[in-house]
Amino acid sequence: MAKMAAAALTREGGEDAFRRLFRFYRQRDASDLRGVVDFSVPGGQVVRSQLSISSVSDQDAYRAGLQPVSQWKAYGLKGYPGFIFILNPFLPGCQRHWVKQCLKLYPQKPNVCNLDLHMAPEKTIDLWGQSKEQLKKKGSSKWEPRSLLEKLRWVTLGYHYNWDTKKYSANHHTPFPSDLAFLSEQVAAACGFRGFQAQAGILNYYHFDSSLGIHVDESELDHSRPLLSFSFGQSSIFLLGGLKREEAPTAMFMHSGDIMVMSGFSRLLYHAVPRVLPNPEGTALPSCLDQGLSSDLPVGSVIEHSSDEDWQVCAKYLQSSRINMTIRQVLAEGQKFPEESGTKGKGQAPSEDGHHQENSRTKRHKPNTDS
């Protein structure tokens, strides 16, 4: 059904097939979601994916806050070899750790965020501290001023992506978070990629009026390793296309805790997020975020307990937001960056948003809806 819906929307000329479908789902009044794949009710073009169960011990899965791999529900899509969709494999309470890290820890220096482009360094040292009280008191009005955390659009980790040159470089690197590296290594191994090294991360922060433009992740020097994507909070529609924008994409739902892996043929396909949606349960937060952590964590766990106060701030943020972490291996083992000449060490994005757009009545120009 998804392919038929896409075909019906892309018969007319004037725009490429991907952009036409992107615009359709981008519309606020686009209520027809029948063509969107829902992996919780597999069928049609959805097929089961085989995982490498023996590659990740139950103990290492627990240490990463994950269920044993034998319990994961993993799927693929016909026509998209190398694409793996894993329905929320996180243990109860463990998603909260990653949300807190993305809001409280990962935006800290020396990591880089969009706010660094137009704010003095001392103003972006502690976004959490400057925002938590305002967030806790926040009501439902759209006219309330946004906290600094709500103005966060992206954070880069490890090798920092240069939005201007579309490249990574050896001279713009900070240590990659060890907890996130461990999580990524376990997920990659379960999908058949043992030895995956988490070297770069881009965290995207979405609100209900946000989108992510049409693009391909091709800046990494090693395309043989997968791209990992983790989502938390509200839901979204994800579009996965082909090697050319003239190919109509497949639309699918992503819910809190879901993981996507793009590898092989699917590693270099066009993709986008046209729309963020309230979670389908109709509650302020999805139920998978309701439970806290159990009191006893396994030895060596990378998961930490969140205080009630910290989670109160995170929960308030997530009521209208979604966080996505995409993790990449930039270099093959033993590979080095090519020599750079005449480049600046810390190239940044040409604008605040990069390819992450948001509709705003305060902006004079309507943002470009694809990149």
Neighbours of 78 (CB within 10 A): 11
Per-residue burial over 23-38, b = 16 or more CB atoms within 10 Å of its CB, e = otherwise: ebbbeeeeeeeebbbe
Q: What is the DSSP string of 137-200?
A: T--S-TTSPPPTGGG--EEEEEBPPBTTTTB--TTSB-PPPHHHHHHHHHHHHHTT-TT----E
217 annotated ligand binder? yes
| 3-class secondary structure, 293 | coil
Side-by-side strand order, sheet with 112-113: 46-48, 73-77, 83-87, 259-262, 227-233, 321-328, 200-207, 154-158, 112-113
Please check whether residue 162 is in contact with residue 347, taking contact to mean a CB–CB distance below 8 angstroms: yes
Query: Using the 8-state DSSP alphabet, how is residue 59 labeled?
Result: H
Q: Which residues contact 109 (CB under 8 A, 6 or more apart)?
A: 121, 124, 125
Please return the burial class of 51, using the count of CB atoms within 10 Å of its CB with bins 0-12, 13-18 and 19+: buried
Helix, strand and coil content of the chain, in percent to the nearest 5, comes to: 25, 20, 55
Q: Which residues contact 87 (CB under 8 A, 6 or more apart)?
A: 39, 40, 72, 73, 74, 75, 257, 258
Q: Which of 350, 261, 325, 346 is nearest to 105 (CA)?
A: 325
173 annotated ligand binder? no
223 annotated ligand binder? no
Q: Taking the CA atoms of 173, 179, 183 and 185 in sequence, report the sign of the dihedral they define.
A: positive
Where is the binding site for Fe cation, in residues? 215, 217, 271
Where is the binding site, in residues? 215, 217, 271
